[in-house]
A and B are shown apart, each in its own frame.
Chain A
Amino acid sequence: MFYRLSGTYHTSYEADRKLWKIPTDRWLVVAVLLLALLAPLYVSPLYLGSYVLPWVIWSAAALSLTLLMGLAGQLHFGFAAVMAIGAYASIHLVRFGVPFELALLLSGLIAAVIGAVFGGAALRVKGLYLVMATLAMQYLVDWVVVNVPAISGGAHATLRTPAVSFLFMPVESLAARYWLALGWAVLLTVFFMNVKRTSFGRALVAIRDKDFAAAVIGVDPFKTKLMAFFTSSFMGGVTGAILAFCFYRAVTPEQFGFNVSIQLVAMVLVGGLGSVIGSWLGAGFVLLAPIFLTNLVSGLAAAGWVPVSQNFLSHLPLMIYGAMIIGFLLLEPLGLAKIYDNIRKYFLVWPFRHARS
């Protein structure tokens, strides 16, 4: 009823290859995009600057990572380091006089090259061993940033982003910073949805499912794995630069620590591996749930409902948050994306029960 059809039936190859096979889905996406574009007009600066903006940027980061982990099946536990390379590269390039637009691309390239070098480990090792190799990347990059003052920015290791403009739009006001970040996230989203339909995307999936089987059918694992690391690191690097210029505006090494890498992995897993909507939902959940819970618990405490010490009060949101993650994963191991899909399928044929997708 809501989707105005009783299942998906295609009568031509074109219809089957469409991005949105059901018109309602397309209209839904257009509506969400419009709402997102107009957000600066109706969302208060508090919510735009501290909720929506970081959510958009972290979604872009989760999309970058899920290309590698979800599509290509290569685990990466040092993705924050990739973003750090992008962030520091972009700042130093802009300071050096490179125009911001070009600096974004170059920082992505630098992150991609370094990321692909570490990705080289993936040619020999898989699974947990690859986790260790990427962890090494995290710590190496951290160490270099902290120990080379020329990178980290001297005694206090804080680098402020210079004032820049993107295509004649000064990246200064909250709305401008939000639009730039949104533009990048939308670009990544569109790219990700389409990459699944290209031969490159199919090669990634083949590698994920069994790399020697992929080699047998003619997919070069060497090239494909390196390309996966390269592409994903490029996206991550630019996202890191966007994070620096649009959100933090002052970069410190702690912003890209190991815990951020773990958060990114959590976003991808909680959202659903290799899923676009999952990256958005996962990033929103991991990033915003602790904030909402902290405010909720503090509000309840202020009203006298939770008579416990400050210390326990601060840990309470973490306990609820942990329970929520376990709950979601028990309920639906395929992540938030699958939960969304279940809801969608339910309404697809409502009031009837069964849908073929």
Chain B
Amino acid sequence: MTFLRKLALTTALVAGLSAPVAAEDIKFGLLQDFTAVYTFVTGQYNQGQQDYLALANAEGILGEGNSVTAIVRDTGNQPQRGIEAYNRAKEEGAVLFDFLSTPVSAAILDQAQADKNVVITPAHGRGDASDGTVFPYVFPMMPTYWAQAANLIEHMKNNGGLQGKKIAIVHIDSPFGREPGPILQALSEQEGFEFQAFPYASPGNEQSAAWSEVRRYRPDYVLIWGAGGGQAVSVKTAIQNGIRPEQIHSVIWLAETDAANVGPAMKGVKRFEATAAGTDHAIIQRIQEKVIDAGKGSGDQANVGTSYYNLGVATMAVAVEAARLGLEGGQPLTGDTLKAGFEKIAGYDAEGLMPAVTYTAEDHQGGGAGRVSEWDGEKWVPVSDWHAAYPDLIRQVIEKSAAEYKAGH
């Protein structure tokens, strides 16, 4: 308590010494793909983001007079539309951007770095952007695909062991689908398992060919690495090919909608999660009370508490926390102060919605902690604790890739 009181006093003192800052309307550019490829997540995700910003304004989290506004635009996953939306939002004064689209993020990354604007890339984009020394203004914020793969592998290790086992990785044939490759390679040597990759063509509406190969391979565990409609197809086709649901482990992109599409057979399937699902969390409860019940919600009430909705809430909870810390110095919020705000976040867990994250100037991933949860027929039930798996290995991969980027690739 004394610490808190001291903190409050110092803050008051610092605030009192510096010139009084006029009330600020902070703008976040949520320029996402609502109409093309990422539609499976964007609706719920963006709804969570907007609802949390409404909550932050209702509760005055950013301090007296300050508010935060979202600039929401559809980019249709097209880089040239993303560039337009970015330039426009930049002119309107946005300091933080979330594109939720790998191609759009890739096209804007360099420009945003040059403009010193913060880009958050939760659960998408370059994993090596976690290296804050090379990407000072990019914050992946949440476990990269590499950390997700490591987390799932560790879960297999703790529940059945890995020595001499066979893992099939069934993935969409795209750069995203290939991301876990290097991690599996490194871990297979370390843990003594063998693995084989089975790609299927994008978008993955038809995967029979890949799965009959998997059946012949007789894997002990299966990793599925896709997104959107292809995920439900993966689970269904796997079960048709004699894989038990308990063997299936998925990347973060497997949610309630997919479970509904698969049906009762889904019970037992596991996935990685970076944020908790469900409405049983302090923040979600307050959103329900102060935003949804007050009629200020931004979408269908039924989405509240879904995996992607909560993911969106968590991203904005962290971003608002960073903005709050960034404003503490008494300066107006710019890309630089916001970046500094992010790097002041230590042990923040959005009141239990997500694992505690700490960002430093080097680590923009925030530790990379997540957990594995299992579909019990109605909801996702966590089957492991929040933790980061093989953090040293992940960090090595991040630094290696970031160094290559720095060298000009």
Tell me, rounded to whole Å, the shortest Cβ–Cβ distance linking A186 to chain B. 21
Q: Are A310 and B50 in contact (CB-based, < 8 A)? A: yes
Task: Pick the interface stretch among B170-178, B239-247, B339-347.
Answer: B170-178
A155 CB within 8 Å of chain B: yes
**Residue contact B409 to A54, C-beta cutoff 8 Å:** no
Q: Most B CB atoms within 10 A — which of A156, A253, A254, A298?
A: A156
Chain B residue contacts of A146, Cβ below 8 A: 173-175
A249: min CB distance to chain B, Å: 6
Apart from A155-B182, A294-B81: 14 A-B pairs, beta carbons within 8 A:
A46-B87, A51-B84, A54-B80, A155-B401, A156-B128, A158-B126, A247-B80, A252-B103, A255-B103, A291-B84, A294-B73, A310-B50, A314-B74, A315-B34
Which residues of A20-72 are within 8 A (CB) of B? 45-46, 49-51, 54
- Show the binding face of A for B, using Cβ within 8 Å: 45-46, 49-51, 54, 95, 143, 146-147, 152-160, 162, 247-250, 252-255, 259, 287, 290-291, 294-295, 298, 309-311, 314-315, 317-318
Closest chain B residue to A247 by CB distance?
B80
Q: CB-CB contacts of B80-103 with A at 8 A, as 1s and 0s?
A: 110111011001000000000011
Segment among B104-112, B220-228, B261-269, B376-384 that sits at the interface with chain A: B104-112
CB distance from B291 to the nearest CB of A (A): 14
B299 within 8 A of A: yes
Contact indicator A298/B73 (Cβ below 8 Å) = yes
CB pair B106–A156 under 8 Å, yes or no, is yes
Closest to B108 in A: A250
Q: What string of 1s and 0s marks CB contacts (under 8 Å) between B57-89 and chain A?
A: 000000000000000111011111101110110
A249 adjacent to B87 (CB under 8 Å): no
Q: How far is the CA of A295 from the CA of B78 in the complex (A)?
A: 15
Task: List residues of chain B with CB within 8 A of the CB of A49.
Answer: 83, 87
Separation of A101 and B352 alpha carbons in the complex (Å): 57
Name the B residues within 8 Å of A50 (CB-CB).
80, 83-84, 87-88
Which residues on A sit within 8 Å (CB–CB) of B46?
310
Contact B408 A160 (CB under 8 A): yes
**Chain B interface mostly:** helix
Q: State which residues 155-176 of B face A: CB under 8 Å.
A: 173-175
In the complex, 23 of the A-B residue pairs with CB atoms within 8 angstroms, ordered by the A residue number, are A50-B84, A95-B408, A143-B173, A146-B175, A154-B409, A155-B182, A158-B106, A159-B409, A160-B408, A160-B409, A248-B79, A252-B103, A252-B106, A254-B103, A259-B78, A290-B76, A290-B81, A291-B84, A294-B81, A310-B46, A310-B50, A314-B74, A315-B35
Does B175 lie within 8 Å of A152, measured CB to CB?
yes
Given the contacts A153-B409, A156-B175, A291-B81, A250 and B106 also touching, CB distance less than 8 Å = yes
Chain A neighbourhood of B127, CB < 8 A? 155-156
Q: How far is the CB of B127 from chain A (nearest CB, A)?
A: 8
Name the interface size band of chain B.
35 or more
Q: A46-B87, A51-B84, A287-B80 are in contact. Are A248 and B107 (CB under 8 A)?
A: yes
Question: Which residues of B12-38 are within 8 A (CB) of A?
Answer: 34-36
Within 8 Å of chain A (Cβ to Cβ): is B349? Answer: no
The reply to whether the CB of B404 lies closer than 8 angstroms to some CB of chain A is: yes
Q: How far is the CA of A153 from the CA of B87 in the complex (A)?
A: 26
B279 within 8 Å of A by Cβ? no
> In angstroms, how far is the closest chain A Cβ from the Cβ of B94?
13
A98 to B43, CA, bound (A): 46
The reply to whether B72 and A298 form a contact with Cβ atoms under 8 Å apart is yes
A160, B106: Cα distance in complex, Å = 10
CB neighbours (8 Å) of A294 from chain B are 73-74, 81, 85
Does B300 belong to the interface (CB within 8 Å)?
yes
In the assembly, what is the distance between CA of A13 and CA of B91, in Å? 55
B298 contacts partner chain A, Cβ-Cβ < 8 Å:
yes
| B79 CB contacts on chain A under 8 angstroms | 248, 252, 254-255
Q: Report which residue of B36, B85, B179 has the largest number of chain A beta carbons within 10 angstroms of its beta carbon.
A: B85
Chain B: CB-nearest residue to A249? B110
Chain A hits for B107, CB < 8 A: 248, 250, 252, 255
Complex Cα–Cα for A157 and B298 (A): 35
The complex places the Cα of A156 from the Cα of B124 at a distance, in Å, of 11
Q: Does B47 contact A (CB under 8 A)?
A: yes
A290–B74 alpha-carbon span in the complex (Å): 10
List chain B residues, Cβ under 8 A from A250.
106-107, 109-110
CA distance A259 to B298 in the complex (A): 30
Contacts of A249 in B (CB 8 A): 110-111
Q: Which residues of B contact A155 (CB under 8 A)?
A: 127-128, 175, 178-179, 182, 401
Candidates B78, B128, B175; contact of A157 at CB < 8 Å: B175
**Residue of A whose beta carbon sits closest to that of B404:** A154
Q: In the bound complex, do residue B106 and residue A318 qualify as a contact, i.e. CB atoms below 8 Å apart?
A: no
Are A310 and B409 also in contact (CB < 8 A) when A50-B83, A154-B404 are? no
Cβ of B78 to closest chain A Cβ, rounded Å? 8
Contact residue among B87, B128, B173 (Cβ-Cβ distance under 8 Å from A45): B87
Residue in A closest to B33 when the chains form the complex, CB atoms: A314
Establish whether residues B110 and A160, one from each chain, have CB atoms under 8 Å apart when the complex forms.
Answer: yes
Shortest Cβ distance from B43 into A: residue: A311
Residues of B within 8 A of A255 (CB): 79, 103, 107
Query: Within the assembled complex, what's the spacing in Å between the Cα atoms of A210 and B75?
Result: 42
Nearest residue (CB) in B for A46 is B87
Shortest distance in angstroms between A25's beta carbon and chain B's nearest beta carbon? 31
Chain A residues with CB under 8 Å of B103's CB are: 252, 254-255
B35 touches A310 (CB 8 A): no
The CA of A49 and the CA of B114, in the complex, are separated in Å by 15
